[in-house]
């Protein structure tokens, strides 16, 4: 089944403890992206990647890191999480071209 897989689905952590949210797609898509979704603010793009080793900042990159060492994987790293990073996170992928993203199931992160 073609899909974008994120793990974990739910995560509660403490301020300052480094964490990684994994994302993997099995569709051989070139483009991958991370979003966070907050009530009233909608989906905001954190980082995106065109292909292996090619990444760029989205609208809200502060406090996040990404890497794209393999085409299928695009992990999101929070090196020192803070409570304002409590949010619902989505990973998405798409093939090259003017097409829409396919989204993963989401990761609900709570930082206390």
Partner 1 sequence: QKEVEQNSGPLSVPEGAIASLNCTYSDRGSQSFFWYRQYSGKSPELIMSIYSNGDKEDGRFTAQLNKASQYVSLLIRDSQPSDSATYLCAVRASWGKFQFGAGTQVVVTP
Q: How far apart are the first and last CA of the chain?
A: 36
| Candidates 7-15, 19-27, 64-72, 94-102; binding stretch for partner 1 (CB under 8 A) | 94-102
- With CB under 8 A as the contact rule, the residue among 12, 14, 27, 50 that binds partner 1 is 50
72: left (phi over 0), alpha (psi -120 to 50) or beta: alpha
- With CB under 8 A as the contact rule, the residue among 31, 34, 64, 74 that binds partner 1 is 31
Give the separation between CA 55 and CA 88, rounded to whole angstroms: 21
Question: Given the complex with partner 1, which of 35 and 78 has the nearer CB atom?
Answer: 35
For position 2 contacting partner 1 by CB under 8 A, the verdict is no
Question: Given the complex with partner 1, which of 60 and 111 has the nearer CB atom?
Answer: 60
For position 90 contacting partner 1 by CB under 8 A, the verdict is yes
DSSP strands (E only) in 41-85: 42-51, 54-57, 65-66, 76-78
67: left (phi over 0), alpha (psi -120 to 50) or beta: beta
- Give the binding site for partner 1 (CB under 8 A): 31, 33, 35, 40-45, 48-50, 56, 58-59, 90, 96, 98-106
């Amino acid at each position: 089944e073609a899909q974008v897989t994120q793990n974990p689905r739910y995560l509660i952590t403490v301020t300052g403890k480094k964490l990684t949210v994994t994302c993997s797609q099995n569709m051989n898509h070139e483009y991958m992206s991370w979003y966070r979704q907050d009530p009233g603010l909608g989906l905001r793009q954190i980082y995106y990647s065109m292909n292996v080793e090619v990444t760029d900042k989205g609208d809200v990159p502060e406090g996040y890191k990404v890497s794209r060492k393999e085409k299928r994987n695009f992990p999101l790293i929070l090196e020192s999480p803070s409570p304002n990073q409590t949010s619902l996170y989505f990973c998405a992928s798409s093939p090259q071209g003017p097409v829409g993203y396919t989204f993963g199931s989401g990761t609900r992160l709570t930082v206390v």
